[in-house]
Structure 1
C-alpha cells in the first residue's frame, strides 16, 4: 500500500515504516484484497475454541465470537493469543480504544510479534482518524464523517444506504439486524490510514471504497477533482457486506465484485429488475466487445486476490464488466433466488462446486455459456468511450481546467479548446463557440469539448443547439457531474423544471459540493411546488458558501 505523492505532511521515515508494517500486516492477516478481510490466527493454536473464534471473526459473526472470547478471557486472562482475539473483536466492533488496550497488554507479554505491532499501528491510525468524525444514525446504519467539511453528505448517504438495505434485502433476503458502520474519510491520507488503500489504488484502479473489518469505508467525493459516483459506491460496498453475511465470507473475488457491480444501482429503481444492465456503461460495453473479438478476457482466476493488482485501469474495468455480466447471466438463468442459493452453498463447498450445483451443469460449461450469453447481447463499441480516471486533489489548488485539457487526446483539439476557454473568459462567446466547434471537428467524441460548447451556446440562449451536445456527452460519459449541471442550467432556463430537478439530483450523486446545484435546485423546487426541498437546498447552498 504505497501512497505516492499525496502531499501528506508527515516525515518520510515514519510513513515508510508505517507502510511496511501495514504491508506486513496485510501479508500475515491475508489483507490482500480490498473487498473483505480473511484474518488468520497470529499463532497456531490447538484449542478448538480458538479455532471457532477465528471462524466467527472471519465470517463477521461477532455475537458468536463475543460469547466465546468472553469465555476464553475468563479462562486465560493473560494469554497473548486470547488478548489478540479480544483486540480483533473490539476492532471489528469499532471499539478502537479497547482494542488498543488489549493489544498493549499482548505486546507487554510478547513484544517481538510484528503482526501484532502492525495491527496496533493500524488500530491507532484508525482511532486517531475516526475520533475526529461525527456520527449520524439511521434505522440500520451508523455513518461517521467530518461534519464541518462533509456534513452535507449525511442525509444523502443515509437515504441511499437505507434504500440499498431494502432493495438488496428484497433481492437476496438479507436484512442485518446490527447497525452497519460506515466511515467516510475526508481525504486520501485519512482514507489510507483506515483502509490501507493507496493513492495509486484510487487513481489507477478507481478504489474509492472498501468493505472490510466489518465496516464500510469510502473517501469523500470532495477529495476528488470531479467527484465520483459516491452514492453508488456506498451501495456497492454494502453489497460486499451482504455477501460476507450470506456466504460466511467464502465468496471468490470475481463473484464479490460481479454482484456488487451488478446490484450497486439497485437502490435507484423502485422495482426489482431481473435484466438490470446498468453495469453496461459505454466503456464497459466497449471493453467487453473488444474482449469478445480478441478472445482476451481477464479471467476469474486472475482476479484473485484482488482487482487492484491488475496491471491497467482498463484491465480492472474489464474485470468488473466480466464479473457483472457473469452475475447477469446467472440471474437470467436462475433469478435472484439462484444467487441467494449460490451464496448459501458457498458456506458448504468450494465455489466451482457451488456453481455447478446451482446451475446444474459443469463449471466449464458455465464459462462457455456465459460467453455465449455475452455474444447474444449484440453489444457494439461506443466510439469515444474511455475508462474514467479519478484524480485526487492535492494540498495546493490545482487547475481543474488544465487537468481536463490533458484528457483531450488530440493536440489540435486541445489547443482549440484552450483558446475557446480564454475567449469565453473574456466574454467573447461567439468566437468561443467557433473555437469549440473547430476543436470538436478534431475530436468529435470528447465529452469535455461537448460540454464546453454546450455551455457557451446556452449562454447565448441557443438552447436547441446546446441540448444535443449535452445528450451526447451524457451517452459517452454518464458519470460526469458537469454534464448534469449544464443540463440543469439548460432545463431551468427553458422552464423545464421536472427535467432540471432530475439532472441536478443526478449531479449530487457525483459532485455534491458544487454550489450551483443547490442554487438552481432551490429555484426549481420552488417552481415545482416543493417548498421544503427548496428550503433544504437553500440551506445547503448557504452552508457551502460559508465554508468557502
Structure 2
C-alpha cells in the first residue's frame, strides 16, 4: 500500500526566461536556446541519457552561459550528481533573471543534498543503491537481490530493459523523505505513501521508520515498474494505468503465479460494489497520494488492479505491451486502450465495470486498512507494547489484563481475556489475534494458534508480528524448514527486528546450515551494536 507515482518538474520555471532572453542575447545564445528546449523536453519525458548528451555538448561550448549552467545543473540532479548540480546552479543564479525564478529549484536541491550528499553506495550490474544510516546497510543485500530479479521479470513482461544503472535511494527519516517526494507528512500518512518514483530514480523510506516495517521489497519492485513505464512511454501514461500495472506487477520478483488481490483490497471492492462508490480515473489524477482518505487510496489501488486483471485475462502481457508501445509511439492512452481491446474507451470502462460487478468478491466485515505513521525513531514494537494500538477502550482493557496474566504464566486465563478483547474490538485486530495465538502456543494448543495466525496473515500480510509468531509455533513443533520460510518472509517486511535474525540463526544451526547461521548473527550484530 502507498506506492505512488508523481510527475513533477521544476524545469518549467526556466523555459520562459530562456525564451524571453533569446532575442536579446547574441546569436550564439539563440543556438543554445533550441538545444535547451530540447533538453528540457528530454527531462520531462524521462530520456535522461539524451538530456545528458545535450548538457555535455552545451557545456563544451557555452560553459560561461548562465542558462546553460542552469540546464546542466538540472540534468546533474536527475542523474543523482548532487554536488555538481549545486555548483552549476550556483553559477547560474549569478544572473539576476535566473535568480528570481531559479532559486526555488536550487534551494530544493540543496535541501535534498543535506541528506543525499552523505549517502553510501552499493552497485550491481543494473542498480546503484544508496543509503545513509549504518543500520540501513542491512537493506542492501535484500534490496539488490530483489531488484535484479525484478529487472529480468519486469523486463520480460513489459519488454523493456533499461540500459543504464537505475538509481535507488533510501531516505532515513520523515523530513528528508517529505523533501525529496515533495509531499507533506499528512499526505504521506493519509495515503500510506512510503516510496515514490521521481526525478529519474526510485526513492523509498527506510523500513526503520515504521514500527513493524512495511512490504518494502514489493514496494521497491512497484516503484521500479513505474520507472520502466516512464522510460518506455516517454512519461505519457496516466496515473490509473501507471498504478494499475505497478500494483499488478509488484510481486513478480517473488512469484510466477498470476497475482491476486489482497484480502483487504478485495473487501474494499466488495463494499464499493455494494454501495456503488468508486474512485474515478479522473479523481486519481495527478496522484493517489492526493486522495483525502486512506480507504480511498486503497480502493483506488484495488480498482486499477482489477482493470489490469481484466486486460490481462483478455490478452496477457502482449496486450499490456501493445498499450504501452502505442502510447510511447504517440497515441493517446484512450486510443491505445481502444486499439488493444477493439472497443471505444468508454465502452472499455463500461465492460470492465460490468465484469467487476459479476465477480464474487468477499466482504470481510471488520478488516482494517492499517495506518501509516512515519516515526523519527527506529525502535521495534514488541507484542506487549502493541496494546496502545488497540483503538477500542474496552478491548484494550481486556488485552492489558490478558498481558498481565500471560506474564504470570496463566495462559488459559489470558486466553479468556484476549477472547473478550476480540469480541469488544468491533474489528479484526491483528494485535489481539497475535496475543491470543501466542497464549495458545504457550498453552500448547498449536492447532488453534496456527488457525488464528493463518487467518491473521491472510487479512494483514504486512503485519510482521504474525510471521514471528508463526515462526515461534513452527520452531516449537520442530518444523524448522517452515519456521525458516516464514521468518524469511518477515525479513521482507522488517529486517530491523533483531528477534527475526536471532531466531533464524538458531534455526540454521539446528538445520546444520552454518554459513546461513553466521550471516544472520552478523546481521544481528549490525542491529544491536
Change (3 A) 1:545 1:531: same
Determine helix, strand or coil for the equivalent of 2:129. Answer: strand
43, 58, 76: which one aligns with 2:15: 43
Partner of 2:86, secondary structure, is: helix
Give the equivalent residue in structure 2 for 1:486: 469
| Structure 2, gaps ≥5 residues long | 20-32
TM-score by length of 1: 0.88
> Which whole-Å CA distance do the structure 1 matches of 2:335 and 2:9 have between them?
21
How far is the alpha carbon of 1:314 from its aligned partner? 0.4
* Cα RMSD for the two superposed structures: 2.2
1:323 offset after TM fit, Å? 1.2
- Output the CA distance in 1 between the equivalents of 2:517 and 2:162: 34
Question: What's the CA shift for 1:528?
Answer: 3.4
Q: Give matches, 1:287-366, under 5 Å.
A: 287-347=268-328, 348-366=330-348
- Would you say the 8 A contact 2:506–2:517 is kept in 1? yes
Deviation of 1:470 (Å): 0.8
For 1:18, the equivalent position in structure 2 comes to none
Provide the secondary structure at the position in 1 that maps to 2:163: coil
Deviations 1:102-152 (A, max 9, x none): 111111012664541121112112222122221111121111113512111
Query: Residue in 1 aligned with 2:439?
Result: 456
> What whole-Å deviation, never above 9, does each CA across 1:381-430 have from its counterpart, x for those lacking one?
12321112112224597977798445435432221112212333344433
Equivalent residue for 2:351?
A: 369
More contact order relative to length (CA 8 Å, sep ≥ 6):
2
Q: Distance in 2 between matches of 1:313 and 1:231?
A: 21
Choose the corresponding residue for 2:134, options 144, 148, 171: 148
- Cα distance in 1 for partners of 2:355, 2:518 equals 49
Per-residue deviation at 1:211? Answer: 0.8
Give the stretch that moved more between structures: 91-100 or 45-54. Answer: 45-54
Question: 1:39 deviation in Å?
Answer: 5.2
Pairing partner for 2:80 from 94, 99, 104:
94
Distance 1:359 1:56, change over 3 A: same
* TM-score normalised per structure 2: 0.91
Cα displacement (A) at 1:460: 2.9
With over 3 angstroms needed to count, the CA separation of the structure-2 counterparts of 1:396 and 1:71, relative to structure 1, is closer
Distance apart, 1:80 and its partner CA: 3.0
Query: In the alignment, which residue of structure 2 is the partner of 1:441?
Result: 423
Distance 1:539 1:224, change over 3 A: same
Residue 392 of structure 1 aligns to a residue in which SS?
Answer: coil
Supply the distance in 2 between the matched residues of 1:114 and 1:322 (Cα, whole angstroms).
Answer: 43
| Aligned residue number for residue 496 of structure 1 | 479
Structure 1, unaligned runs of 5 or more:
1-32
Structure 1 contact 34–212 (Cα < 8 Å) conserved: yes
Deviations 1:247-301 (A, max 9, x none): 11111111111111110011111x3x4x421xx1122111111222222211101
CA contact (8 A) 1:235 1:264 kept: yes
Partner of 2:27: none
